[in-house]
């Protein structure tokens, strides 16, 4: 009937409307997906022209470098008869769990203090056991060939003594080394790892037997150094100048000239002639009038006066010039002239100072040195060029 036909058409139209609405929603989702893909494509196109275009090539080069490094390390281990077996599966799982809990720092640096074992981790039983194995490797009890000037001979290797105390160790009669010392802990850690101490590698590259003395029930006591100072110390910067007096005199009563001569031996005879030691000593000690024959005369020079003024200033050390001291003995040996001059002054300046102190002609004598024997005739040469610095002894000789 018409009513049924109309009802059927209305149902079909409703289904078509629902289908059209669903397709419209699908079209919207696909349009958004197409827009996202277009955006990614644009980003990839921009990335091909940017600086990160060679990321894949850099990764390939890095992988090749690491693979080459692994080959070199395996070849190095093969040279020593070693093979890298890798980590066990359980250890790898522990490492992965550690990475999950705490992120490991990239390219972290090794610190020596972190690898040093503490006192509570020292296994002395393991040390004693490993020392036995190390001594076998070092050839304990096996004679070695020792070359001598006349040939060769067999010699047993001498063991290196190692004493274990309660508070430290003593190796090879050296100083006491407490367990808290990082070098001591590193030495014991090497033995615990089954190696010779790394500190002995330079002296004993092939290893050396260790003679261990277990005295862990004894506390090592520091020995006092022989001849230690028994008096009282003083703080730096504090001194009791009033209690200390400087002197150049020999303590004790001063002996007179006659007492000194009486101590000399009596006259000796040589080839029938009497040699008087006392008379020679008296003549050497006394001059005319009972005074000493050699008198020290300080020659006043302008340079010396300027130097004395500088010494009285506050910055004497910083401003004082280079000064040499010359001790010049006269022709007769009775006078000794002490002259202070600059390094740059000449032999002619020295002659002028001597002429001012002695009087007379400066050309009547020669200035010589005894060792090495040399005559200074060039008045234009400086004292530094003549090698008369910082101190020198000279003689005057008549022409």
Half-sphere exposure in the Cβ direction for 374 (13 Å, CA): 11
Determine the pLDDT at residue 243.
45
- The answer to whether residue 310 scores a pLDDT higher than 80 is no
Q: Is the alpha carbon torsion for 169, 175, 181, 184 positive or negative?
A: negative
3-state secondary structure of 221: coil
Burial 255-279 (b: 16+ CB within 10 A, else e): eeeeeeeeeeeeeeeeeeeeeeebe
Using an 8 Å Cβ cutoff, are 343 and 389 in contact?
Answer: yes
Q: Give the model's confidence band at 241: pLDDT under 50 very low, under 70 low, under 90 confident, else very high.
A: very low
Determine the pLDDT at residue 141.
76
Taking the chain, what is the end-to-end CA distance rounded to the nearest angstrom? Answer: 170
Give CATH superfamily name and number for 124-143+155-214.
Answer: SEP domain (3.30.420.210)
- Min mean pLDDT across 54-68, 205-219, 243-257 is at 243-257
- The answer to whether residue 18 scores a pLDDT higher than 90 is yes
Q: Is the alpha carbon torsion for 130, 132, 135, 136 positive or negative?
A: negative
Q: Is the alpha carbon torsion for 136, 137, 142, 143 positive or negative?
A: negative
Other CB atoms closer than 10 Å to residue 171's CB: what's the count? 18
Burial 25-58 (b: 16+ CB within 10 A, else e): eeeeeeeeeeeeeeeeeeeeeeeeeeeeeeeeee
Using an 8 Å Cβ cutoff, are 129 and 136 in contact?
Answer: no
205/196 Cα distance (integer angstroms): 10
Residue 343 CA, distance from chain mean position: 36
Q: Class of the 297-313+320-398 domain?
A: alpha beta
Q: Give the model's confidence band at 24: pLDDT under 50 very low, under 70 low, under 90 confident, else very high.
A: very high
Q: Give the model's confidence band at 363: pLDDT under 50 very low, under 70 low, under 90 confident, else very high.
A: confident
- Min mean pLDDT across 6-15, 81-90, 320-329, 373-382 is at 81-90
Q: Give the model's confidence band at 35: pLDDT under 50 very low, under 70 low, under 90 confident, else very high.
A: very high
Determine the pLDDT at residue 242.
42
Could you please report the per-residue DSSP string of 279-335? HHHHHHH--TTSS-S-EEEEPP-HHHHHHHHHHTSTTHHHH---EEEEEEE-SSSSE
- The answer to whether residue 192 scores a pLDDT higher than 50 is yes
Q: Is the alpha carbon torsion for 240, 241, 243, 246 positive or negative?
A: positive
Determine the pLDDT at residue 208.
86
For the chain, what percent of residues have pLDDT higher than 90?
15
Placement of tokens 């720092």 in the chain: 105
Q: Give the model's confidence band at 140: pLDDT under 50 very low, under 70 low, under 90 confident, else very high.
A: confident
126/212 Cα distance (integer angstroms): 13
Determine the pLDDT at residue 69.
92
Using an 8 Å Cβ cutoff, are 196 and 189 in contact?
Answer: no
337/350 Cα distance (integer angstroms): 11
Average pLDDT, rounded, for the chain:
76
77/103 Cα distance (integer angstroms): 31
Per-residue pLDDT tens digits for 284-309:
555 444 444 456 787 777 766 666 66
73/211 Cα distance (integer angstroms): 36
- The answer to whether residue 245 scores a pLDDT higher than 70 is no
- Min mean pLDDT across 91-95, 100-104, 136-140, 325-329 is at 100-104
Determine the pLDDT at residue 287.
45
- Min mean pLDDT across 74-78, 182-186, 359-363 is at 359-363
Average pLDDT over residues 322-330: 87
Of 230, 215, 132, 133, nearest in space to 176 by CA: 215
- The answer to whether residue 219 scores a pLDDT higher than 70 is yes
Average pLDDT over residues 28-51: 84
Between residues 117 and 133, which one has the greater pLDDT? Answer: 133
- The answer to whether residue 150 scores a pLDDT higher than 90 is no
Determine the pLDDT at residue 23.
94
């Amino acid at each position: 009937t018409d009513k049924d036909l109309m009802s059927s058409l209305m149902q079909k139209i409703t289904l078509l409307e629902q289908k059209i609405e669903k397709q419209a929603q699908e079209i919207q989702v696909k349009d958004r997906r197409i827009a996202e893909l277009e955006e990614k494509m644009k980003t990839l196109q921009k990335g091909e022209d940017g600086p990160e275009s060679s990321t894949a090539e850099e990764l390939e080069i890095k992988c090749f470098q690491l693979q080459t490094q692994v080959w070199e390390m395996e070849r190095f281990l093969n040279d020593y008869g070693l093979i890298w077996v890798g980590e066990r599966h359980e250890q790898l799982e522990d490492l992965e769990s550690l990475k999950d809990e705490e992120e490991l720092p990239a390219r972290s640096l090794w610190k020596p203090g972190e690898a040093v074992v503490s006192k509570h981790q020292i296994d002395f039983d393991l040390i004693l056991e490993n020392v036995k194995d190390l001594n076998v490797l070092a050839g304990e009890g096996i004679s070695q060939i020792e070359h001598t000037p006349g040939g060769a001979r067999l010699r047993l290797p001498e063991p290196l003594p190692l004493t274990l105390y309660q508070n430290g160790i003593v190796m090879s009669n050296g100083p006491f080394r407490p367990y808290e010392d990082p070098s001591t802990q590193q030495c014991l850690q090497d033995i615990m790892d089954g190696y010779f101490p790394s500190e002995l590698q330079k002296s004993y590259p092939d290893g050396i037997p260790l003679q261990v003395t277990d005295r862990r029930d004894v506390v090592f006591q520091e020995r006092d150094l022989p001849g230690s100072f028994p008096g009282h110390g003083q703080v730096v910067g504090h001194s009791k100048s009033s209690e200390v007096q400087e002197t150049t005199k020999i303590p004790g009563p001063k002996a007179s000239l006659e007492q000194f001569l009486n101590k000399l031996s009596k006259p000796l005879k040589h080839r029938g002639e009497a040699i008087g030691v006392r008379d020679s000593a008296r003549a050497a000690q006394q001059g005319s009038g009972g005074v000493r024959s050699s008198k020290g005369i300080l020659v006043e020079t302008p340079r010396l006066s300027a130097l004395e003024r500088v010494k009285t200033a506050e910055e004497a050390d910083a401003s004082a010039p280079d000064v040499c001291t010359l001790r010049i003995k006269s022709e007769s040996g009775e006078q000794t002239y002490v002259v202070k001059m600059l390094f740059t002054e000449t032999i002619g300046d020295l002659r002028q100072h001597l002429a001012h102190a002695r009087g007379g002609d400066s050309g009547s004598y020669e200035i010589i040195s005894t060792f090495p024997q040399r005559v200074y005739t060039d008045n234009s040469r400086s004292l530094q060029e003549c090698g008369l610095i910082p101190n020198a002894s000279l003689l005057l000789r008549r022409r």
